[in-house]
């Protein structure tokens, strides 16, 4: 037997937009973390390059 | 290369976009393209390096030259079998657009020639297709896709771009890490990469789900665009006198003296009875002079005080809203509707033959009317004057679609799926509560155009204006100071047009004596005081100017007035009308909507002894001055300004794409390049932080749950009875009180062939129910 649907006082939400915003925020957050690691990596490379250049310079200078 | 037909009339399709990540990208046009399988098009301009095209532009014609450009063949149109109103197509051949990060937009012309005899056959075909202009619909169905309209769509688009950018850059992350020689770190970030990848997938899928979830919606709006008419139940009657408490005064016959004496309604209880009134022993004490007012004495039902049954706000009951929902499915006028394009003078003349997308001719054309199908002119003939060879290219659309029509589920014979609906009604017993709930509701559904804050004066403003009308400046003249000057706080009411208002302020600089100049004829006297006469002996006279307001008894004033809504709506102050000071005598209205009943001060005291008579302050309306409206108070939903930052997002993602490209080629180990990379990463991190902040602002809005008080929802899950089934459910559903003020929105979704919402349903309505919290 079909169930009669009735009107109900409802607490309307917008979970679709909320979820989308929350996921996008999380994505931006995590991507930021990844970029942080990359940045540190590049900083290490830069430091390494400078150190290597200094060592070579010292070597050349005797 | 196809033969050129016309250099000026070939229809250029601009703004055509195509999809990424496919080998057979789908092209979407702005207007109906009218193409068929195997038709050829020439792409005159393209943003892409995958699907290229270059045409020749004529500055003389201000148009791409027809036939120039790079030629492609149409593989499919609007899915299997083609669709005359299609806006999508694919091309023959394979084009891998996975790495096409351009805006993927093209501009093209159709270059297919229709054989001459085909066109001729079409033109001379049956001309019986006479048709009628459609009636204008009221509350109309409209299509809606969450995340496809307004600010929210922009935000969703930005989220999608971020997700896609993250995904495409992830593939490069490991390579990048190797170059940066931080293998130990790489070990640590692997779970992060996996999680990011999964999350990006989820965001893309979520947006896809939302975009595919299309609905029809119907907005029943008695208050803003007023697609239904609210009623204002009141009758006019003669103004009846009331005592200070607002009770009606009747006159009762004293059978001893034969005189009528004042008696107050309800004293004793049950006075007056219908019998007393009918016998003529009791009659209403009417204001003198007689005046018809809304909510005045009702001789048909004299024992009920009409003031207690009227509302100052237009009512639209819940039952009426539900009725509109049901009626809308049967609205014969709510069908796809096309309006004439451009100026009437540029369109074919009334009665000229016009043509549908297939070239079938129709008569009965009138450019001022709406029709239910896309129409075209016959097109211009060849420059050499010969008959049109390519009707599709030579024709021009003469109308465009302005409404989609109601969801006609049973009318579609090929439709064998189900349908479902969600109806939401905002209902309240008083207007203030109604507008409060509506305010929250409209902010939450700003992706529905009617609720969009970008509409300028939106629905909420409109409701607010009903409750608190904007102040007006009223210039009055001939204020008789013998009866007192108006002061701030006085309530004034006009005699003829029923306008009321409370004086907010008075500009003292504009309070000046009324210039009342009169003329009179006087005899001319000589120095001795005798009449001067002409040669015929007639007394000489002259006309002189007289100041009729020498003591400044009559004044002009400028009043800033907050209008008060009358029972019959908000009435303007009309020049020439008399305004009098008002006083409160009782209240009107019912339920929570109680309002003070203003009457002229001292009304009814005119017949009293002189000492007890009360006179109101009085003046004439000179004119009402336009007043500059006050600025709205921030913040409102639009105050977040996502539209202002979204272009910034676009630029940001472009930068990000470039950055990713740079990552690909990071072989160089020069210090300058590495420093650039570090700086770039810092900038992107800063931007991501900014973006998170904005998202937080938006989340604050959407964390709100609409209070259940005043919001009623009816969820009709997917069922197989078509529109009739939905109508039956709407009629049968109970559980909602028939409140006085209401408006509603009805979403209808039809079952598709794909599972959505995590595989739970094929009907987007079920997804909507889930996200709205109705399940």
Tens-place pLDDT, residues B1-11: 333 334 334 46
Domain count, chain A: 1
B444 closest CB neighbour out of A12, A29, A37: A12
Set of chain A residues whose Cβ sits within 8 Å of the Cβ of B702: 14, 17-18, 21
Element (H, E) at A32: helix A15-61
d(CA B733, CA B714): 8
Q: Mutate which of B168, B702, B713, B729 to disrupt the A interface (most A C-beta within 10 Å)? A: B702
A24 closest CB neighbour out of B176, B203, B729: B203
Q: What is the pLDDT of residue B477?
A: 92
For chain B, give the percent of residues with pLDDT over 70.
Answer: 67
Residue B120 has pLDDT above 70, yes or no: no
Q: A25 lies in a domain?
A: yes
Q: What is the pLDDT of residue B482?
A: 93
Phi first, then psi, for residue B106 (nearest 5°) are: -135, 170
Residue B677, both tokens: 């990379």
CB–CB contact A5 B717 (8 Å): yes
Q: What is the pLDDT of residue B737?
A: 87
Residue B16 has pLDDT above 60, yes or no: yes
ipTM for the predicted complex comes to: 0.81
Residue A42 has pLDDT above 70, yes or no: yes
pLDDT tens digits, B129-172: 222 222 222 345 555 444 444 455 566 666 776 777 666 665 54
d(CA B337, CA B342): 16
Model's pTM, two decimal places?
A: 0.54
Residue B261 has pLDDT above 50, yes or no: yes
Q: What is the pLDDT of residue B97?
A: 83
* More confidently predicted of B285 and B35: B285
Range of the domain at A38: 16-62
User: What b/e sequence results for A40-50 when a residue is b if at least 16 CB atoms lie within 10 Å of its CB, and e otherwise?
Assistant: ebbbebbeeee
Q: What is the pLDDT of residue B414?
A: 42
CB–CB contact B692 A29 (8 Å): yes
Closest residue, chain A, to B163 (C-alpha): A27
Set of chain A residues whose Cβ sits within 8 Å of the Cβ of B171: none
CB–CB contact A27 B159 (8 Å): yes
Residue B267 has pLDDT above 70, yes or no: yes
Closest residue, chain B, to A17 (C-alpha): B702
Phi first, then psi, for residue B74 (nearest 5°) are: -75, 130
* More confidently predicted of B748 and B82: B748
d(CA A39, CA B713): 51
Set of chain B residues whose Cβ sits within 8 Å of the Cβ of A3: none
Residue B744, both tokens: 């509603």
B758 to chain A, closest Cα gap in Å = 13
Task: Report residue B178's pLDDT band, with 50, 70 and 90 as the boundaries.
Answer: very low
Q: A26 lies in a domain?
A: yes
Set of chain B residues whose Cβ sits within 8 Å of the Cβ of A45: 179-181, 669, 674
Task: Report residue A36's pLDDT band, with 50, 70 and 90 as the boundaries.
Answer: confident
A15 closest CB neighbour out of B185, B708, B773: B773
Closest residue, chain A, to B421 (C-alpha): A5
CB–CB contact B671 A9 (8 Å): no
Domain map of chain B by residue range?
13-113, 123-134+337-400, 236-308, 471-514+549-625
Alpha helices in B144-288 (DSSP H): 150-179, 183-212, 274-279
- Listing DSSP states for A6-23 in one string gives --EE-----HHHHHHHHH
Set of chain B residues whose Cβ sits within 8 Å of the Cβ of A41: 176-177, 180-182, 185
Lowest mean pLDDT among A37-46, B54-63, B198-207: B54-63
A49 closest CB neighbour out of B158, B671, B706: B671
Set of chain A residues whose Cβ sits within 8 Å of the Cβ of B180: 38, 41-42, 44-45
State the fold for domain B13-113: Elongation Factor Tu (Ef-tu); domain 3 (2.40.30)
pLDDT tens digits, B636-682: 333 333 444 444 555 555 565 565 555 545 444 566 667 777 787 78
Residue B400 has pLDDT above 50, yes or no: yes
B446 to chain A, closest Cα gap in Å = 11
Element (H, E) at B558: strand B554-564
CB–CB contact B688 A26 (8 Å): no
Residue B492 has pLDDT above 70, yes or no: yes
* More confidently predicted of B265 and B94: B265
Q: What is the pLDDT of residue B463?
A: 65
A3 to chain B, closest Cα gap in Å = 10
Residue B86 has pLDDT above 80, yes or no: no
Q: A9 lies in a domain?
A: no
Average pLDDT (B224-251) is 83
Set of chain B residues whose Cβ sits within 8 Å of the Cβ of A19: 206, 771
Average pLDDT (B577-584) is 94
B749 to chain A, closest Cα gap in Å = 17
Closest residue, chain A, to B183 (C-alpha): A41
Task: Report residue B756's pLDDT band, with 50, 70 and 90 as the boundaries.
Answer: low
CA distances from B47 to B43, B656, B669 (A): 11, 19, 33
Average pLDDT (A46-50) is 82
Q: Partners of B761 in the beta sheet?
A: B756
Q: Are B562 and B501 in contact (CB under 8 A)?
A: yes
Q: A3 lies in a domain?
A: no
For chain B, give the percent of residues with pLDDT over 90.
Answer: 14
A17 closest CB neighbour out of B166, B702, B714: B702
Phi first, then psi, for residue B640 (nearest 5°) are: -70, -25
CB–CB contact A34 B193 (8 Å): yes
Q: What is the pLDDT of residue B404?
A: 54
A23 closest CB neighbour out of B147, B206, B729: B206
Q: Please, what is the average pLDDT of chain B?
A: 74
Q: What is the pLDDT of residue B184?
A: 42
pLDDT tens digits, B554-578: 999 999 998 888 887 778 888 889 9
CB–CB contact B735 A8 (8 Å): yes
For tokens 């005359």, what's the residue?
B84
Q: A6 lies in a domain?
A: no
CA nearest to B11, candidates B365, B375, B379: B379
């Amino acid at each position: 037997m079909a169930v009669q649907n009735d009107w109900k006082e409802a607490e309307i939400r917008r979970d679709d937009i909320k979820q989308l915003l929350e996921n996008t925020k999380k994505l931006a957050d995590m991507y930021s973390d990844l970029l942080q690691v990359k940045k540190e990596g590049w900083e290490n490379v830069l430091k390494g390059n400078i150190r290597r250049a200094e060592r070579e310079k010292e070597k050349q200078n005797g | 290369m196809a033969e050129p037909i016309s250099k000026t009339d070939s229809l250029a399709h601009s703004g055509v976009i195509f999809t990424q990540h496919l080998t057979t990208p789908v092209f979407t046009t702005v207007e109906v393209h009218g193409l068929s399988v195997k038709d050829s098009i020439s792409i005159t301009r393209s943003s892409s390096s995958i699907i290229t095209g270059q045409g020749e532009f004529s500055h003389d014609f201000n148009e791409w030259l027809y036939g120039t450009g790079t030629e492609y063949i149409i593989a499919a149109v609007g899915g299997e079998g083609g669709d005359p109103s299609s806006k999508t197509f694919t091309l023959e051949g394979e084009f891998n657009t996975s790495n096409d990060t351009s805006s993927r937009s093209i501009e093209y012309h159709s270059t297919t020639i229709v054989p001459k005899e085909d066109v001729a056959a079409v033109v001379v075909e049956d001309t019986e297709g006479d048709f009628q202009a459609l009636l204008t619909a009221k509350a109309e169905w409209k299509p809606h896709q969450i995340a496809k309209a307004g600010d929210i769509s922009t935000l969703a688009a930005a989220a999608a771009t971020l997700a896609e950018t993250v995904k495409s850059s992830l593939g490069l992350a490991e390579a990048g890490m190797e170059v940066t020689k931080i293998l130990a770190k790489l070990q640590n970030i692997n779970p992060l990469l996996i999680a990011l990848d999964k999350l990006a997938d989820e965001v893309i899928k979520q947006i896809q789900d939302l975009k595919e979830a299309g609905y029809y919606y119907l907005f029943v709006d008695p208050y803003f665009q007023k697609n239904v008419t609210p009623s204002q139940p009141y009758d006019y009657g003669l103004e009846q006198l009331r005592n200070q408490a607002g009770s009606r005064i009747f006159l009762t016959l004293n059978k001893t003296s034969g005189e009528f004496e004042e008696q107050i309604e309800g004293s004793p209880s049950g006075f007056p009875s219908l019998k007393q009134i009918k016998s003529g022993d009791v009659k209403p004490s009417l204001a003198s002079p007689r005046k018809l007012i809304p909510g005045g004495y009702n001789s048909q039902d004299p024992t009920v005080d009409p003031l207690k049954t009227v509302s100052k706000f237009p009512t639209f009951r819940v039952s009426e809203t539900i009725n509109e929902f049901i009626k809308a499915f049967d609205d014969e006028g709510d069908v796809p509707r096309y309006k004439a394009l451009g100026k009437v003078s540029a369109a074919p003349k009334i009665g000229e033959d016009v043509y549908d997308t297939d070239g079938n001719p129709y008569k009965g054309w009138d450019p001022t009317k709406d029709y239910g199908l896309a129409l075209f002119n016959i097109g211009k003939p060849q420059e050499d004057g010969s008959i049109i060879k390519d009707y599709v290219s030579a024709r021009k659309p003469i109308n465009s679609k302005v409404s989609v029509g109601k969801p006609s589920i049973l009318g579609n014979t090929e439709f064998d799926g189900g349908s479902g609906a969600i109806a939401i009604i905002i209902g309240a017993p008083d207007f203030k509560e109604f507008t409060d709930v509506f305010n929250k509701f409209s902010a939450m559904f700003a992706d529905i155009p009617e609720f969009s804050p970008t509409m300028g004066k939106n629905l909420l403003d409109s409701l607010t204006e009903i409750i608190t009308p904007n102040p007006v400046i009223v210039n009055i003249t001939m204020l008789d100071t013998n009866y007192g000057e108006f002061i701030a706080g006085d309530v004034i009411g006009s005699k003829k047009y029923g306008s009321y208002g409370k004086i907010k302020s008075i500009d003292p600089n504009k309070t000046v004596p009324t210039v009342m100049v009169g003329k009179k004829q006087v005899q001319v006297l000589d120095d001795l005081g005798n009449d001067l006469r002409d040669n015929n002996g007639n007394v000489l006279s002259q006309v002189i100017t007289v100041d009729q307001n020498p003591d400044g008894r009559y004044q002009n004033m400028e009043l800033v007035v907050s209008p008060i809504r009358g029972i019959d709506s908000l009435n303007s102050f009309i020049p020439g009308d008399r305004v009098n000071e008002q006083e409160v005598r009782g209240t009107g209205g019912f339920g929570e909507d109680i309002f003070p009943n203003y009457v002229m001060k001292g009304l009814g005291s005119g017949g009293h002894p002189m000492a007890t008579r009360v006179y109101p302050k009085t003046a004439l309306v000179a004119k009402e001055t336009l007043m500059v409206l006050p600025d709205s108070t921030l913040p409102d939903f639009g105050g977040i300004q996502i539209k202002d930052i979204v272009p910034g997002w676009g630029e940001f993602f472009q930068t990000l794409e470039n950055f990713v490209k740079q990552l690909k080629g990071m072989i160089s180990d020069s210090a300058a390049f590495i420093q650039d990379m570090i700086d770039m990463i810092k900038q992107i991190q800063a931007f991501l932080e900014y973006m998170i902040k904005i998202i937080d602002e938006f989340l604050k809005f959407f964390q709100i749950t609409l209070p259940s008080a005043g919001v009623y929802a009816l969820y009709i899950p997917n069922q197989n009875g078509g529109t009739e089934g939905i109508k039956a459910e709407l009629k049968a559903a109970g559980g909602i009180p028939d409140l006085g003020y209401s408006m509603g929105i009805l979403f209808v979704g039809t079952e598709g062939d794909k599972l959505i919402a995590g595989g739970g349903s094929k009907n987007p309505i079920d997804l909507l129910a889930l996200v709205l919290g109705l399940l």
